[in-house]
Structure 1
């Protein structure tokens, strides 16, 4: 029964949302609006050529993470790693219990849209934006960014920093630099979407003193380039005991929590 429900929710419904985004995006783009309200209720600066933006607007990503963020009833800090244009930072800001948002987006053009979206929704006062990627070293590397799908940008397999055609130079930090950026007292809810580098990011997070404040991590898994078992083992070793899968097939999300 669960598999049938997952097929409907993550197969049929999600596919329908993708088709809707493809069909209606040209219509919406033709309106020339200065801001567009997404299916999640937040405003975003138009970026219609980008598949990631269109998925944000038409709710293609579903409600799994957004509901988790909106339903929290205790004060918390939201850490958005791989924030892109800021959809989940904006959603978290809708919850008055979210006292601070710390967002990491290393690609300059995407980061500029993130900053514009945060300002558009009035959340700048409690949002710290960092033009940085979390990796296992400090330095500069080159990342490929597809103009028509910014959400596919990744450092996975490119830690050596070799230049690539169409690449963009970004800055990376490791645990010692990251730790003071997370300083605080409240529990943290972390989202990680870094296209295959999730294990590296989690390993660096685990080295920080502030990692003890992380109550939950919502991370993306794609079995084609990441090992779900490796990530789970890493988190279990760091004190996480509960793992809930959202999605089906080779590409899905996992919520890891300490209890």
Structure 2
């Protein structure tokens, strides 16, 4: 009992997140307690919002993802957004966030890992979003074609990345599009060139292609929000976005080259 009390005191800095959770999540006390490590949820579980949206949780990692999005507000989706892109959609938590925040938006999700892609589709079906959300079993990478993805069953889906894995790891070949090709696919699906927001969380693969992105590739994107990883210097990522007149608005640091950055297009 005392040890749990001590752990709770250490989490007091999360009070604003807990307050948001209490205001929008059903069964918020149990969800909060499980997130803070005070108790455990019996997985599979559900992360249910008071307005009817729901996320199916298979593990603590899924709960962390849901909490970061809906209680910590790591990403911000404009209410008037019409087109939102989700690179690294995982099991669909951000897609639900975007659909909820921007009720008229079309959302295009990229998730290459087959098992996770199936979960993504199920999340979209569960929330009745098939008419607004398009799910593509594709990774964005340096070039179109295919790439190896880590398929080690002990790794949570949130941590799977592209790249040649060692012989000690299981791998799976997945389909890829380069950034320009992926954005063109979004425009084909949505029928418009303008993209209000790109969210990217692809476990470090951004370093393989984003530094080389041409300004024309990003010209029709109004905002870019991404989790960046310490696979390389963040400066190269930021400079590529800034060359396209996307300006840094917020950078939540998690180490020297890790964090979550929000960019928005400069208006002259």
Does the TM-score normalized on the shorter chain lie above 0.5?
yes
1:135 is aligned to 141
Distance 2:146 2:168 in 1: 13
Superposition map of 1:116-195 within 5 A: 116-147=122-153, 148-155=155-162, 158=163, 165-175=169-179, 177-183=181-187, 184-195=192-203
Residues matched between the structures, number: 235
1:4 is aligned to none
Aligned 8 A contact 1:145 1:152 in 2: no
- Residue 221 of structure 1 and its aligned partner are, at CA, apart by 2.0
Aligned 8 A contact 2:211 2:237 in 1: no
Distance 1:219 1:190 in 2: 8
If you compute each CA radius of gyration, which structure gives the higher value, 1 or 2? 2
Aligned 8 A contact 1:103 1:127 in 2: yes
Deviations 1:149-198 (A, max 9, x none): 1111111xx2x688762222211112453243121144320110011122
Superposition map of 1:17-166 within 5 A: 20=35, 22-25=37-40, 27-29=41-43, 35-37=46-48, 42-48=53-59, 51-57=60-66, 59-60=67-68, 62-66=71-75, 68-69=76-77, 72-147=78-153, 148-155=155-162, 158=163, 165-166=169-170
Deviations 1:66-112 (A, max 9, x none): 5x22xx23232110000100111111111344420000000000000
> Are the structure 2 counterparts of residues 87 and 174 from structure 1 closer, same or farther at C-alpha, using a change threshold of 3 Å?
same
2:234 is aligned to 228
The higher relative CO (CA closer than 8 Å, separation ≥ 6) is in 1
Q: CA RMSD in A?
A: 3.3
- Residue 218 of structure 1 and its aligned partner are, at CA, apart by 0.7
TM-score (ref. length: structure 1): 0.76
Q: Is 1:245 paired with 2:246?
A: no
5+ residue gaps, structure 2, are 1-11, 19-31
Distance 2:212 2:185 in 1: 13
5+ residue gaps, structure 1, are 1-6
SS, match of residue 213 in structure 1: coil
Distance 1:107 1:43 in 2: 22
SS, match of residue 101 in structure 1: strand
TM-score (ref. length: structure 2): 0.74
SS, match of residue 233 in structure 1: helix
